[in-house]
Amino acid sequence: MLKFRKLNAFYGTSHIIHDLDLDIRKGETFCLLGRNGVGKTTLLRSLLGIDVRTTGTIEFDGADISATPTHERARRGVGYVPQGREIVPGLSVLDNILLGCNARTDGQMTVPQLVWSLFPFLKDHLGRRGTNLSGGQQQQLAIARALATDPSVLVLDEPTEGIQPNIVEDIEKAIVSLNRDHGLTIILVEQKIRFARTAAHRFAILEKGRVAASGTAADLSNDLIHRHMGL
Amino acid sequence: METFVIGLSIASILFMVALGLAIIYGTMKVINLAHGEMVMIGAYVTVLATKHLGFNLYLCLPLAFLVTAGFGLVIERTVVRRLYGRLLDTLLATWGIALILQQLIRIHFGLGLFGIHIDGLGSDLQNVPVPGELQQTLHFLGANIPVYRAFIFVVALLLGAVTWWLIYRTRFGSQLRAVSVARNTAAACGVNDKRVNMLAFAYGSGLAGIAGVLVSGFKTVSPDMGTPYVVDAFLVVVAGGVGHLAGTFLSAGILGEVQSFVAMWLNDVYGRTVLFAVVILILLFKPQGLFVSRSR
């Protein structure tokens, strides 16, 4: 479904990703692991085309999207939940969700039923400013917004980072459900190994912008984690 | 009362110019120094349309909006788009555009635009005739209110309302607000941020063009007439609080009235001096302007 070939990514003159080759298969949850600063977020931003200069190719559903503008990538089906949530200030909860509908190719401007079934509490806060929700609720709102784009692949950058524990469980359940019950392909950057083992079918550990190790969830041994992540 | 209404009309012009400037800066973080030239082009469109097409001032309002919005669109697509994120470069580029536009108008129309000659003044020192009904005075609370000045205020109110509706009640407005504070997130949600920028630039320029039409009814139309407006409009935007419609409205009202009353009691020079002093005081006590956008 998604192929990175000889991908190099740069912030200004800083070379972050080096000749990376990676395949993501349709219907799987793929987990990107690694210490801070190894290029996980940069890889996701390369996929979205956000503020990163890249060389090499990014193939999505058979088409090279490496030169495609970000909004077009969203319309092709790449949904994005950024690190830090990035709820749009000044917009209500409803408007934040509906913002995602701009990526829909069917022109619909309605909240998908899936959003209400995963995060029913949002219905009680539609008129509130999105930034006035708690951190955990904002994260759920960010996922809801990405789902409103009607994605075929959902990209999540540390979705449970800095979230209160009672909501972390809800978010994890939602992510697992999106893949297993709704067939959504998921790319997940995650620091929590426990959740990575639960949710992922396959994983890759990045080191200095390169894939240092990869395999199925069963291959994600403590030794591997200790060696590459120091945990 | 007359002074108050004249102050309102000055405030209204400031509001229209500042509103366009605020939308452009808020969305693209571009300080558009060619914005005053949109006022000037709006005024020249009025002169040409009344002279050659037989348009009255009312018809010139939408025409000037379209023409200046077109200018804005071209400027954004050809120059500004290549300079996003480079504040100093956009300042220099738009200043250059302002100078080019002024000189092109000066070279093309020269001093013979109006076909009249006033000894000692040159031939283009003229404002546009306004329709008869707008030349009347209205007796209200014992004062003589110039109808044209009240008309300017009404147009500004209408434009303010339309702009509010556009920004807070339409899909485009929601895209505009998202792009102005979270460009990448908006793009990742499918919003074509370049298109939003282009349309915002065009709309902001169009507002200045409408202000130009109204200014042409009481001020001399000349190639450099827009320059003072861009300075005053910046004062309004900064004093009102960047990115806040109500702040721009309130700030324009205060600064317009201050300038009008001081100019009436003393003279125009004192009017502008006090205007600058008021802006400094506002910024001393409210460094982020009268209104601050909430963005927790």
| Domain definitions of chain A by residue range | 28-36+78-229
Residue with tokens 């070939």: A5
Residues from chain A contacting residue B192 (CB–CB below 8 Å): 69, 71
Helix (H, G, I), strand (E, B) or coil at B219: coil
How many cross-chain Cβ pairs, A to B, lie less than 8 Å apart?
Answer: 83
Q: What is the pLDDT of residues A53-79, one digit of tens each?
A: 999 999 999 999 999 999 999 999 999
Scanning B131-160 for CB atoms below 8 A from A yields: none
- How far is residue A75's CA from residue A77's CA, in Å, rounded to a whole number? 5
Higher local confidence (pLDDT), B258 or A179: A179
- Residue B170: closest C-alpha in chain A: A95
pLDDT band at B288 (very low <50, low <70, confident <90, very high): confident
pLDDT band at B122 (very low <50, low <70, confident <90, very high): very low
- Residue B184: closest C-alpha in chain A: A50
Distance from CA of A67 to the nearest CA of B (A): 15
For residue B296, is pLDDT > 60?
no
* Mean pLDDT, rounded, for A187-215: 94
Distance from CA of B32 to the nearest CA of A (A): 24
Q: What is the pLDDT of residues A115-141, one digit of tens each?
A: 999 999 999 999 999 999 999 999 999
Asked if the C-beta of B194 comes within 8 angstroms of chain A's C-beta atoms, the answer is: yes
pLDDT band at B118 (very low <50, low <70, confident <90, very high): very low
* Mean pLDDT, rounded, for B210-214: 96
pTM, rounded to two decimals: 0.89
Q: What is the pLDDT of residues A18-57, one digit of tens each?
A: 999 999 999 999 999 999 999 999 999 999 999 899 999 9
ipTM confidence score = 0.93
Q: Which CATH number is associated with domain B2-113+123-285?
A: 1.10.3470
For residue B46, is pLDDT > 80?
yes
pLDDT band at B114 (very low <50, low <70, confident <90, very high): low
Q: Give B130's DSSP letter.
A: P
Percent of chain B with pLDDT over 70: 92
Closest residue by Cα to residue B173 from A95, A85, A70, A148: A95
Backbone angles phi, psi at B116, to 5 degrees: -125, 160
- How far is residue B47's CA from residue B181's CA, in Å, rounded to a whole number? 39
Residues 6 or more apart in contact with residue A146 via CB below 8 angstroms: A79, A80, A81, A100, A154, A155, A156
pLDDT band at B115 (very low <50, low <70, confident <90, very high): low
Q: Which CATH number is associated with domain A28-36+78-229?
A: 3.40.50.300
Greatest mean pLDDT among B2-11, B120-129, B253-262: B253-262
For residue B120, is pLDDT > 60?
no
- Residue A76: closest C-alpha in chain B: B190
Please indicate whether, in this complex, the C-beta atoms of A99 and B181 are within 8 angstroms of each other. Answer: no
Provide the residue ranges of all domains of chain B, joining segments of one domain with +.
2-113+123-285
